[in-house]
């Protein structure tokens, strides 16, 4: 099940649901709740206030999500509400159960039935025979499939609401003023796992259109416009293209470094056993494409400088296609490709550092080493504030600009020094949060609000390590701004030339065959060899046919491939041929990989253990 489907209501509202309000109301608010959950009881006041203030504009639907592990009376209470519903008084019993959450024994609900003038014998019989258990289980399963993990969880017109629970926030979400609509649309788009790849695709297409339109000269002129600044004796001036590739892309490599650090310390590359398969696949996916490119260009030493161009995999496009295939792709395959792409990125960074470095400025490298040592000291001293790292990181980047080593590597080195923390003791932090919230009612309003905010911020900061927090904060900027600008600046190449189709040259053909054939052959063969020799284990839910089919997607090489091409070729003609080869090879690899995966993959429907046993509630 894709991530975006788990923020949507998978089971539409129907006649089987209990609803309050007109069926043609413009807004339907579906709540998954638990009658014994104290948070549901507190949130019930917000729901009532919304109904009072919106009238017939909102239809309320309640579905059961009883957590029997924590709330032993929740299932009985849900059955009581359904039994009352059989006699036309579901909502009356619903309100009474929330009003008496501490009294939900069987004799209590029987008393409530008498108060509501129900047929008590029929009510008791339905409770004893668990007549409505099936309906409650169906509600629970629909909640699991919709991504419900605790109570209360609301869906507004089919989309999960993740905002604050106070009435004003809920009313904004229901009424949707323009600012909320824009925020909701933005959130909806960024939730799509394929959205990053989609942005790259759109801006690459714009660059190609611009570079092949009657305004093609303006494309070249714009990106070669000089811009810079002076600060004392420091004077920096670069073309806009260089600012993108040597400036903005430093942030991309910084986030990439944080991702690598996370995977190495706590992810799929954290242990030899877990890392063996993706590392073997990444090595094969680098070696074989490089050999194929060399076979096409061995007679031309200048063209041979581009041997590393087809070794990279663009994870944004690859995961985007895997996401489009949805339930046909098991989660373990997506995890494998993410880990392989991270290992592949490590190889790409090493290639740039070792093979695409110009003349070395020893003095500048020494200055860079001093800045890096300072960053390591900050890490050693457990400094968690981002400001000192930012200042020293800028110094590190400036030193690399003059060193001859590609300045984007400053981003990777900076990421290495960002501190991480051991996993927090969640129970103790929750106890601290409860204590802070319980103290909130004492003291002056302004003072206690400030104290509450500071205390909760301290807890949140501890819950998320600095490196992971920076990664989460910067990831949207990289995916939706930096990489699209990079694509717009670098993907604009003329598709034809005076001497014929630009594809028919050794550089382009070496890249195309390296990506389309070399990548899947290298990835699949090296992974099979690692599994065959016992070095690694293939996930049991992935067949070799499916694995080989997915390996074709590794031939989508865009961001790092174009980046390496920029570093490899100074000749505009060779660079243009390389970019055309990257674009053509990536498109062909995407088409082949998508087709093969569609044919070789059955449809997977995630069934979780929580469907049999209720998941833990948020309280």
In the chain, which residues have pLDDT < 50?
1-5, 180, 498-500, 605-619
pLDDT score of 502? 60
pLDDT score of 337? 83
Number of CB atoms found within 10 A of residue 415's CB: 23
pLDDT score of 348? 86
CA distance 518 to 286: 8
pLDDT score of 439? 63
**For 21, left (φ over 0), alpha (ψ -120 to 50), or beta?**
left
pLDDT score of 559? 86
- Apex 349 CA angle, 272 and 480, nearest 5: 105
**For 156, left (φ over 0), alpha (ψ -120 to 50), or beta?**
beta
pLDDT score of 598? 86
CA separation, residue 563 to residues 242, 604, 612 (Å)? 11, 36, 49
Number of CB atoms found within 10 A of residue 252's CB: 21
Furthest CA-CA distance within the chain: 94
Tokens of 340: 């392989």
Tokens of 387: 């400001």
- Apex 512 CA angle, 508 and 516, nearest 5: 175
CA separation, residue 321 to residues 232, 334, 520 (Å)? 49, 10, 16
**Helix axes of 195-211 and 178-191: crossing angle, nearest 10 degrees:** 90
Number of CB atoms found within 10 A of residue 290's CB: 21
CA 312 to chain centre: 21
CA distance 582 to 589: 10
């Amino acid at each position: 099940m894709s991530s975006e489907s788990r923020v949507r209501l998978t089971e539409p509202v129907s006649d089987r649901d209990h609803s309050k309000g007109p069926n043609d109301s413009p807004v339907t608010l579906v709540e998954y709740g638990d009658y014994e959950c104290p948070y549901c009881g507190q949130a019930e006041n917000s729901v009532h206030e919304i109904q009072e203030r919106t009238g017939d504009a909102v239809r309320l639907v309640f579905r059961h999500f009883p957590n029997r592990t924590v709330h032993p009376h929740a299932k009985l209470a849900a059955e009581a509400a359904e039994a009352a519903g059989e006699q036309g008084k579901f909502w009356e019993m619903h309100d009474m159960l929330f009003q008496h959450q501490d009294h939900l024994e069987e004799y209590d609900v029987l008393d409530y039935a008498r108060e509501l003038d129900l047929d008590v014998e029929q009510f008791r019989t339905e409770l004893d025979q668990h007549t409505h258990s099936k309906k409650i289980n169906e509600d629970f399963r629909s909640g699991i499939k919709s991504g419900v993990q605790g109570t209360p969880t609301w869906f507004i017109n089919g989309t999960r609401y993740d905002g604050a629970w106070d009435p004003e926030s809920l009313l904004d979400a229901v009424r949707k003023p323009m600012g909320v609509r824009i925020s909701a649309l933005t959130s909806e788009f960024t939730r799509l796992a394929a959205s990053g790849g989609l942005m790259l695709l759109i801006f690459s297409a714009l660059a190609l259109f611009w570079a092949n339109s009657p305004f093609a000269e303006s494309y070249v002129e714009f990106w070669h416009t000089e811009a810079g600044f002076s600060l004392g004796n420091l004077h920096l001036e670069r073309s806009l293209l260089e600012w993108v590739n040597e400036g903005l892309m430093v942030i991309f490599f910084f986030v990439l470094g944080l991702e690598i650090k996370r995977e190495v310390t706590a992810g799929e590359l954290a242990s030899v056993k877990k890392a063996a398969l993706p590392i073997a696949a990444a090595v094969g996916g680098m070696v074989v494409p490089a050999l194929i490119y060399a076979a096409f260009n061995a007679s031309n030493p200048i063209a041979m400088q581009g041997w590393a161009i087809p070794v990279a995999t663009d994870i944004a496009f690859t995961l985007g296609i895997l996401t489009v295939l949805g339930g046909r792709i098991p989660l373990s395959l997506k995890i494998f490709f993410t880990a392989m792409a991270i290992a592949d990125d490590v190889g790409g960074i090493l290639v740039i550092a070792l093979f695409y470095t110009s003349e070395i400025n020893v003095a500048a490298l020494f200055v860079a080493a001093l800045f890096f040592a300072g960053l390591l000291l900050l890490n050693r001293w457990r400094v968690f504030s981002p400001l000192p790292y930012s200042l020293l990181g800028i110094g590190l980047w400036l030193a690399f600009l003059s060193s001859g080593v590609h300045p984007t590597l400053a981003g990777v080195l900076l990421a290495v020094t960002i501190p991480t923390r051991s996993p927090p003791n969640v129970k103790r932090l929750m106890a601290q949060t409860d204590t802070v919230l319980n103290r909130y009612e004492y003291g002056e309003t302004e003072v206690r609000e400030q104290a509450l905010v500071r205390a909760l911020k301290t807890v949140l900061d501890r819950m998320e390590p600095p490196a992971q927090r920076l990664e989460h904060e910067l990831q949207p900027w990289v995916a939706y701004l930096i990489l699209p600008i990079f694509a717009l600046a670098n993907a604009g190449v003329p598709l034809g030339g005076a001497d014929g189709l630009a594809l028919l040259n050794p550089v382009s053909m070496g890249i195309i065959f390296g990506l389309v054939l070399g990548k899947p052959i290298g990835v699949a063969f090296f992974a099979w060899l690692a599994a065959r020799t016992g070095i690694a284990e293939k996930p049991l839910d992935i067949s070799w046919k499916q694995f080989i089919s997915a390996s074709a997607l590794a031939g989508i090489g865009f961001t790092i491939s174009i980046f390496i091409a920029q570093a490899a070729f100074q000749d505009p003609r060779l660079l243009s041929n390389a970019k055309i080869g990257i674009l053509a090879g990536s498109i062909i690899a995407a088409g082949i990989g998508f087709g093969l995966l569609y044919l070789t993959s059955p449809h997977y429907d995630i069934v979780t253990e929580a469907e049999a046993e209720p998941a833990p509630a948020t309280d």
